[in-house]
Structures are given as C-alpha cells and as structure tokens.
C-alpha cells in the first residue's frame, strides 16, 4: 500500500505527497499533460524539442542544472506521445531547491533564438544517433505511420522528419509554453523523506502565485477501425531481416490493456513464452522475438517484433507468428500459464516500488489517468483478469485484417 496525500492549489496545480522514511532522498516529479499527440502535424517533434529548452534557463535562474547540482541533485526528463515528465532527486534536506527550480521554469523561460538554435542541433544529433545511425533505428519511424492514418500517434516523439525540427521558431516555443506549461495542466508529486504539511507549505510558497492557463480541450481525431491488413517492405543496410507486426490495443486505463499486457507476456515474456519456445528454439526461425503493448492514453499498439535467422523466408516467419496468435484466438491460455504471467507482473510491480522515484512517477501518472489511488489497484487490476478475458481480448486484438506489418529487409538478402 502506497500512502499519499493529495492537494489542489487555487491555481489548479495538483500535488501528491508520499512519505517514505526509509530513504534520505526527496524526489520531485512534475508531469505536464502534453505530449507529441498534441503537436501540429506540420510541426512534429516539438514537444520533445521543447523539453530540451526547459533546461536552458528560466525567468530568474540562468542555469537550472548548475543550481541543482550545487544542492547535490540530479535530474532528467522524457517526452512520450502522451506526456512530458520532469523529475529530480536530491538530498531530502534540500527539497526546497527542487521546488524553487521547477516553479521558476513554470513561471517563465528565458526564451532566446541562440539557445533554440543550439538545442535544434542537439536534437538533430539525437535523431541521428538513435534513429538513423543505428541498425533498425528507423523501424518505429516507419511503423507508426503504417499503423495510424489519422490519430497523431502516427508520428514518433522525435518527429516525422529532421526538417520539422529545423523549422521550429521562437514563436512556436512561446505559444507552446503558455498553452501547456501552466499549473492547472500539471501534476506535481513529491516523495521521499518529507512531511506532507511542509511540502504543501513549500509548494504554496513557490507555485501558489503562478497564474493558471487555459489549455485547449483535447479533440484528437480518433483512429477509425482498420478494415484491411497493411504491409510495407523496406530494404536497409542491416545484416539480417526483421519483422514488425502491430495491432491496435486498448487505451492504458481500460480493462483491455491489462489483458493485452498479460497476453504479451504469454507470447514473449522470457524463455518459457510461446513465441520463444516455438519460433526461436524449436523451429529456429528467429534469433530474437518480443511482444509488448505501448500502453498509451488513446488506443495504443500491440507489437510483435523479431529478427529472422539468416536464410529464413519472410513469409514463413510471418505465418509462424500468425499461427501462435491464432492459438490464442482459438483457446484460452492454461491456468498455470495465466498464474505465471500474473506472478511475473506482481514481482515487477513490487521491485519497482522499492524505488522512491518510480513511486513518484507513477503517482503523477495515475493521477493523470483519473485517480492517483489507482497506484494501489494496479496489482489487483492485473490479477482480476481471467483466462476467459484474455481469450476474448486475443480474439478482438489479433484480427489479421487489423494488422500492420513492416518487413524490414536486409539489402544483402535475396529479394
């Protein structure tokens, strides 16, 4: 049981505090309810580029990192298709430094063309390092637009193209900030060796006078139901063929997500999983294979991906995956198999909550899902899924007509 106190400031900022006496640290996690799905289709990659600019100085503080490091802290941030999340850890005695820093960059940024230009370069190098200069690095740049035709999940957080990053202007930066980076669009969690009353007082002090904003109501175009299978083939200078197969899966907060997540473990969670045993070990078609849900706020992706053993025909590999999916559509998984994947989940939740930062991140995230108390229902939501639920979910999920397949071929394999 993770206990927490919840407060809402007059300006709409939500605050969650989790006290943990077993640590000397404090964690400040600040989630902004904005991600790549909120971007203009002509200016993708912007939420992530903006995240970089959050470290380039704020209204009263020229060097965010320097001030935090001086107080013995470390920080980082990430952008997803749904949210932008900033977090820092520091000695609990220095908590106020963290709140001072986060509140100042919510108050206002030190916008400058020079800094924007530098961070554009940094992000372009990130683009190259992670997506272009890695074998198979661009697979997700291809898979998303194949799986989504309408919903903004059709582009990745890094952006559709380098040109979109190059074209970002200072006006874009300003308007994005004042639209989304307001207290009523954020969820602050403080966890660690702290006292709720004191955290509330400090939060009032540093965040209380920030004006609320007016984030637009989200009206994202929803992805229509897919009617026929989509396939795309590319050739790249990689040593072996790879295959990526995607289906649309339930939103993160739906019961269907939990069934789908368990299905992904049945398929590819470890060496006792179905795909590993059948396709890697017994039939020797793949050298590695995985299955996972993206667990996004709108309908996400359920992806099966693997690298083929050299010389294996792509259509044989594809058919072999479909065979395993059809087994799940035709019959519910066995009792012990279901218990196994549930125990695995319980274990990963428990190990995750040994870490004070994970607890803070999850509190903010579950609050965004509608109720921070969901953090304590997570295990139960997995455990209440039955084999019958998983069977029904498999039938709905793994419909061949709703699949998108990327055949990622090695330039050196025969056509």
Partner 1 sequence: MKIPVRTKAPPFRPVERVELAPVQTHRLPGGIPLFTIGGGSEEVSRLDILFGQTLAGRENNMGVFAASALLKDGTHRRNYAEISEELDYYGAEVGASFGKDNVVVNVYILNKYMDEVFGILADLLHNPTFPAEQLETYVRNGKQRLAVSEKKVSYLTKRALNETLFGPDHRYGFSARETDFGTLSVEKVQETYRSYFMPATCRIIASGRIDGKLAERLAGHLITPAWLSGKEPGRETVTPVFPGAHSHREIEVDGAVQSSIRIGRRLFSKTHPDYLGMTVLNTVLGGYFGSRLMSNLREDKGYTYGVGSGLVSLQASGYFQVSAEVGVEVCSAAVEEIYREIGRLRDEAIPAAELELVKNYMLGSFLMGADGPFAQADLLKGVMLYGMDYTYYDRFIGTVRTMQPARLQELAQKYLQEDDLCRVVAGGKNG
Subset of residues 119 to 148 that bind partner 1, contact rule: CB under 8 A = 119-126, 128-130, 132-136
315 binds partner 1 (CB under 8 A): no
Residue 344 touches partner 1, criterion: CB under 8 A? yes
Q: Which of 307, 391, 402, 409 binds partner 1 (CB under 8 A)?
A: 307
- Within 129-254, where are the H helices? 139-147, 162-166, 170-180, 196-207
Which DSSP state fits 239? S
Shorter beta-carbon distance to partner 1: residue 148 or 240: 240
Q: With contacts defined by CB under 8 A, name the span among 149-157, 197-205, 215-223, 226-234 that binds partner 1.
A: 197-205
Rounded to a whole number of angstroms, the minimum distance from the CB of residue 327 to partner 1 is 16
H/E element holding 96? helix 95-107
From the list 271, 272, 250, the residue with the least C-alpha distance to 261 is 250
**In terms of CB distance, is 132 or 255 closer to partner 1?**
132
Question: Which residues in the 142-181 window bind partner 1 by CB under 8 A?
Answer: none
Q: What share of the chain is helix, strand, coil (3-state, %, to 5)?
A: 45, 20, 35
- Minimal distance, residue 66 CB to partner 1, in Å: 5
Instruction: Please state, as a whole number, how many other Cβ atoms lie within 10 Å of the Cβ of residue 154.
Output: 19
Closest to 413 in 3D by CA, of 176, 165, 240, 155: 240
Kindly tell me which of 103 and 294 has the beta carbon lying closer to partner 1. 103
Ranges within 360-399 binding partner 1 (CB under 8 A): none
Can you list the pairs that 307-314 forms with residues at least 24 positions away whose Cβ atoms lie under 8 Å? 307/136, 307/240, 307/241, 307/242, 308/240, 308/241, 308/242, 308/243, 309/240, 309/284, 309/285, 310/239, 310/240, 310/413, 312/241, 312/284, 312/285, 312/286, 314/241, 314/243, 314/407, 314/409
Around Cβ 250, how many Cβ atoms within 10 Å? 23
When binding is defined by CB under 8 A, the residue of 11, 353, 400, 413 that contacts partner 1 is: 353
Q: Please, are residues 413 and 234 in contact by the beta-carbon 8 Å criterion? A: no
Select from 176, 206, 366, 407 the one that contacts partner 1 (CB under 8 A).
Answer: 206
**Cα dist from 354 to 48, 94, 349, 360, whole Å:** 29, 22, 9, 12
Name the strand (E) or helix (H) holding 404. strand 404-410
Q: Report the candidate in 54, 45, 111, 94 with the shortest Cα–Cα distance to residue 77.
A: 54
Order of strands, sheet of 14-19, starting from the edge strand that comes earlier in the sequence: 5-8, 14-19, 186-192, 25-32, 84-91, 74-79
By the rule CB under 8 A, 272 interacts with partner 1? yes
The least distance separating partner 1 from the CB of residue 277, rounded to whole angstroms, comes to 6
Q: Which of 78, 93, 377, 401 binds partner 1 (CB under 8 A)?
A: 93
Name the minimum Å distance from CB 313 to partner 1. 16
Whether the Cβ atoms of residue 126 and residue 158 lie closer than 8 Å to each other: yes
Nearest distance, CB of residue 285 and partner 1, angstroms: 11
Nearer to partner 1, 148 or 276 (CB): 276
Q: Is 7 in the site for partner 1 (CB under 8 A)?
A: no
Which of 198-206, 294-302, 364-372, 400-408 is the region at the interface with partner 1 (rule: CB under 8 A)? 198-206
Is 99 in a helix, a strand, or coil? Answer: helix
Residues 95-124 that bind partner 1 (CB under 8 A): 96-97, 100, 103-104, 107, 117-124
CB of 69: closest distance to partner 1 in angstroms? 4
Minimum distance, C-beta of residue 108 to partner 1, in the bound complex (Å): 10
Sole binder of partner 1 in the list 8, 41, 63, 255 (CB under 8 A): 63
d(CA 223, CA 356): 37
Residues 275-294, interacting with partner 1 (CB under 8 A):
277, 280-281, 284, 287-288
Stretch 9-38 residues interacting with partner 1 (CB under 8 A): 20, 22-25
CA–CA separation, 2 vs 4, rounded Å? Answer: 7
Does position 235 bind partner 1 by CB under 8 A?
A: no
CB of 356 to partner 1, least distance (A): 7
Q: Which is nearer to partner 1, 89 or 249 (CB)?
A: 89
Q: Minimum distance between the CB of residue 342 and partner 1, rounded to whole angstroms? A: 9
Interaction between residue 347 and partner 1 (CB under 8 A): yes
């Amino acid at each position: 049981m993770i206990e927490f106190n919840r407060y809402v400031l007059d300006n709409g900022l939500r605050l969650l505090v989790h006290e943990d006496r077993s640590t000397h640290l404090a964690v400040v996690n600040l989630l902004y309810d904005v991600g790549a799905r909120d971007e203009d289709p002509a200016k993708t990659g912007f939420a992530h580029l903006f995240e970089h600019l959050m470290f380039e100085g704020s209204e009263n503080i020229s060097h965010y990192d320097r001030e935090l490091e001086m107080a013995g802290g470390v920080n980082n941030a990430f952008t997803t298709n749904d949210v932008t999340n900033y977090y820092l850890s520091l000695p609990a005695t220095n908590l106020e430094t963290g709140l001072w820093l986060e509140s100042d960059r919510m108050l206002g940024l030190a916008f400058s063309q020079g800094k924007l230009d530098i961070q554009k370069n940094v992000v372009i190098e990130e683009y190259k390092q992670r997506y272009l200069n890695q074998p198979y690095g661009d697979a997700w740049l291809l898979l998303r637009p194949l799986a989504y035709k309408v919903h903004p999940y059709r582009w990745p957080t890094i952006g559709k193209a380098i040109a979109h990053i190059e074209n970002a202007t200072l006006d874009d930066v300003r308007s994005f900030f004042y639209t989304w980076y307001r207290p009523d669009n954020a969820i602050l969690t403080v966890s660690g060796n702290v006292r709720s009353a004191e955290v509330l007082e400090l939060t009032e002090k540093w965040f209380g006078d920030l004006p609320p904003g007016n984030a637009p109501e989200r009206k994202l175009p929803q992805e229509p139901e897919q009617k026929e299978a989509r396939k795309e083939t590319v050739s790249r200078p990689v040593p072996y063929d790879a295959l990526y197969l995607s289906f649309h899966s339930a939103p993160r907060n739906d019961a269907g997500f939990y069934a789908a997540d368990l299905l992904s473990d049945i398929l590819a969670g470890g060496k006792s999983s179905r795909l590993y045993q059948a396709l890697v070990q017994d039939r020797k078609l793949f050298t590695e294979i995985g299955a996972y849900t993206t667990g996004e706020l709108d309908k996400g992706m359920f992806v099966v991906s693997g690298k083929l053993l050299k010389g294996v025909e792509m259509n044989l590999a594809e058919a072999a995956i479909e065979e395993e999916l059809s087994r799940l559509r035709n019959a519910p998984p066995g009792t012990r198999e279901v218990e196994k994947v549930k125990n695995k989940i319980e274990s990963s939740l428990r190990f995750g909550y040994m870490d004070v930062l994970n607890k803070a991140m999850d509190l903010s995230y579950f609050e965004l899902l509608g109720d921070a108390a969901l953090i304590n229902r997570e295990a139960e939501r997995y455990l209440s899924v039955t084999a019958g639920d998983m069977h029904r979910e498999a039938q709905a999920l793994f419909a061949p007509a709703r699949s998108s397949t990327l055949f990622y071929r090695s330039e050196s394999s025969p056509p």
